[in-house]
Structure 1
Amino acid sequence: DIQNNAKILGHLDFVNAKAKMAHDTKATLPLLSQAGQVVLKKARHPLIDPKKAVSNDIKLGQDYHAIVITGPNTGGKTITLKTLGLIQLMGQSGMFIPAAEGSTIA
């Protein structure tokens, strides 16, 4: 009984942690694309302070199948790529994503 209760409490703690993170980051439920399309609206890196983070719109899989990001060495390109990767993994893990309502992941 104790092991079963520990398993149930662990699961409830995990669900509560996901809900708290979603609330704190103003995350939304992503739509799922069977066609492999990614449409992120106002996507923000989940680990950067929301007051400092710059949101980006990222679209892949419909009109574009590749992305080229250019510019000076100020860190924005790397953060954009990491944001895309982290948000995709968050969605695949059943978490809400730090992007605007109606965002889609593959």
Structure 2
Amino acid sequence: MWLSKRTAETQTVQTAKTGVVTTGGGEISVRTDMERRAPLVTVPYGMAVCLPQGEKVVMLPESGVCIGAVNQTEGLSPGEVRLFSAGGAEILLRADGTVVINGQVFPKAEA
């Protein structure tokens, strides 16, 4: 009993917080309830991002880790994926199997 109570008292739970990138580029700064300089930014394997200033992100403030940008689902249906850049380039993977690259539609290949 004493041991479990003591363990519970010493454990902390990190709460994710949303913030805004205040300095974009190679070494970012993020403002949540405090400013974090050069947080570790995590992305899935095979991807790389350079977050622009003003982007909304999610932070684990106690560890200083940025776990990603706030999801932008406008115009997406369930099961669809959109990759985009600040310059307007876009790749859209539609749920029906079509691929749209910068507005050009490529129908699903028939097997």
Give the TM-score category using the shorter length: under 0.3
Larger radius of gyration: 2
Structure having the larger proportion of residues in helix: 1
TM-score by length of 2: 0.26
Higher relative contact order (CA 8 A, sep 6+): 1
Structure having the larger proportion of residues in strand: 2
TM-score by length of 1: 0.27
